[in-house]
């Protein structure tokens, strides 16, 4: 191979040129195959969205729906420690109907599952935010009472 300033001249004839072209084409194909294989492809059962996209959307909306009543869950954890915490796991915000209208069953199932999981998790966290300190204070008072009664 010789570089003359503007062109690269290959010695070895046309067979060598063909071999290099084939090698470069195979290299490009092999390098791009993993990217093509791992690309997220839309699925017809979710109308163009991947299930991961549907779940991400549902989680974001579940987070917002749970945050709308953050004060209620925090006060439930503070004033009704056990009941508020249990309610935070069982009472879920309503799923926006417009998100499920005219959607495929797989879409509805995935959206509902992800929305409820995220909302339940957030509500529980909010109620535990005040229930945790109440539990620690109650344990400390109980320990002080036990220690005071033994002396």
| 95 and 123 housed in the same domain | yes
Domain that holds residue 15: 2-38
Region of 13 (left: φ > 0; alpha: ψ -120 to 50; beta: rest) is left
Total domain count, the chain: 2
Q: How far is CA 3 from the centre of its chain?
A: 53
Task: Tell me how far apart the alpha carbons of residues 92 and 53 are, in angstroms, rounded to a whole number.
Answer: 22
Give the pLDDT score at 150.
Answer: 82
Query: Which of 112, 117, 63, 61 lies closest to 89, judged by CA?
Result: 117
Give the pLDDT score at 84.
Answer: 86
| 86 and 16 housed in the same domain | no
| 62 and 91 housed in the same domain | yes
| 50 and 18 housed in the same domain | no
| 27 and 80 housed in the same domain | no
Q: What is the pTM assigned to this prediction?
A: 0.61
| 34 and 69 housed in the same domain | no
Query: Which of 94, 99, 103, 92 lies closest to 43, judged by CA?
Result: 103
Give the pLDDT score at 24.
Answer: 63
| 107 and 131 housed in the same domain | yes
Give the pLDDT score at 28.
Answer: 60
Residues of the chain with pLDDT under 50: 44
| 29 and 86 housed in the same domain | no
Give the pLDDT score at 134.
Answer: 84
| 70 and 111 housed in the same domain | yes
Computed over its alpha carbons, how large is the radius of gyration of the chain?
A: 31
């Amino acid at each position: 191979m010789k570089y003359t300033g503007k062109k690269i001249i290959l010695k070895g004839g046309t067979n060598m040129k063909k071999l290099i072209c084939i090698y470069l084409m195979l290299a490009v194909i092999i390098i791009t195959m993993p990217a093509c294989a791992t690309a997220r492809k839309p699925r017809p059962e979710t109308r163009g969205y991947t299930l991961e996209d549907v779940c991400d959307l549902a989680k974001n909306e579940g987070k917002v729906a749970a945050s709308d009543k953050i004060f209620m869950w925090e006060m439930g954890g503070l004033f009704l420690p056990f009941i508020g915490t249990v309610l935070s796991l069982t009472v879920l915000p309503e799923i926006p109907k417009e998100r499920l209208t005219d959607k495929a069953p797989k879409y509805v199932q995935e959206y509902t599952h992800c929305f409820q999981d995220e909302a339940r998790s957030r509500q529980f966290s909010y109620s535990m935010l005040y229930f945790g300190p109440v539990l620690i204070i109650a344990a400390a008072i109980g320990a002080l009472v036990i220690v005071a009664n033994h002396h």
